[in-house]
Chains A and B, each alone.
Chain A
Amino acid sequence: AQSVTQLDSQVPVFEEAPVELRCNYSSSVSVYLFWYVQYPNQGLQLLLKYLSGSTLVKGINGFEAEFNKSQTSFHLRKPSVHISDTAEYFCAVSDGAGNKLVFGAGTILRVKS
């Protein structure tokens, strides 16, 4: 079965600084990777997804992620964060073998002014 590890439970960062949220997954023949964002008391919203093709994926709100097969990673990045990016971010993985979507434990991004 797939597994996902989000290495940081919380990431504090100052406004306008760059940020990277780390995600590693267990290997599979073919994987589909997702980042979701959850604002307080709301559901999850899809930020971006990797299904195939270019390893650099751009999403909403200026976020991007890079699929690295050799390192089994899918880290999320933003070059300059805003206060409004404060939220919890979930990495998730599924595969072409019919296994269900598996979420990581989440990373809370706290943007400080």
Chain B
Amino acid sequence: DAMVIQNPRYQVTQFGKPVTLSCSQTLNHNVMYWYQQKSSQAPKLLFHYYDKDFNNEADTPDNFQSRRPNTSFCFLDIRSPGLGDAAMYLCATSRATAGNSPLHFGNGTRLTVT
């Protein structure tokens, strides 16, 4: 089955220690998104790639970076995690950025910062 896969499912890092979360897709979708979801809140878009074109949300902290080396993979780098960055991180894909193109989500990576 075509899908969006996130690794790892659970990640523990220390305060200030860089961490990378990964996402891969077999859907061959052009767009890949990273969302941050804190407890009992809606997902918050951090940024997205349309193909290799990177689009950052205005309120995404500089501490968060992303890389998309090819169509299938996308990485979220947190350069210096703080306690407030503990959250579920969701990767999603869509065929296009058009509003009628549904998102397909991975199962998320739950990040704990100690």
Cβ B99 vs Cβ A44 within 8 A: no
Known: A41-B110, A44-B43, A106-B42. A101 touches B99 (CB 8 A): yes
* CA–CA, A74 and B90, complex, Å: 25
Q: Which of B42, B97, B100 interacts with A51 by CB under 8 Å?
A: B100
Cβ A42 vs Cβ B108 within 8 A: yes
Q: Shortest distance in angstroms between A57's beta carbon and chain B's nearest beta carbon? A: 12
Asked if B103 is at the interface (CB within 8 A of a chain A CB), the reply is yes
* CA–CA, A41 and B90, complex, Å: 11
Number of A-B contacts (CB under 8 A): 58
Cβ B100 vs Cβ A43 within 8 A: no
Q: Which of A41, A45, A99, A106 interacts with B41 by CB under 8 Å?
A: A106
* CA–CA, A94 and B90, complex, Å: 19
Asked if A17 is at the interface (CB within 8 A of a chain B CB), the reply is no
Chain A residues positioned under 8 Å from B105 (CB to CB): 36, 43-45
Q: Which of B41, B45, B90 interacts with A100 by CB under 8 Å?
A: B45
Interface residues of B in 74-90 (CB under 8 A from A): 88, 90
Cβ A105 vs Cβ B99 within 8 A: no
Known: A43-B105, A44-B90, A45-B105. A103 touches B43 (CB 8 A): yes
Question: Closest residue of chain B to A103, judged by CB?
Answer: B42
Q: Which of A43, A90, A94 interacts with B99 by CB under 8 Å?
A: A94
Asked if B56 is at the interface (CB within 8 A of a chain A CB), the reply is no
Asked if A110 is at the interface (CB within 8 A of a chain B CB), the reply is no
Chain A residues positioned under 8 Å from B95 (CB to CB): none
Q: Shortest distance in angstroms between A105's beta carbon and chain B's nearest beta carbon? A: 5
CB within 8 Å of A: which residues of B? 4, 6, 9, 40-43, 45, 88, 90, 92, 97-100, 102-108, 110
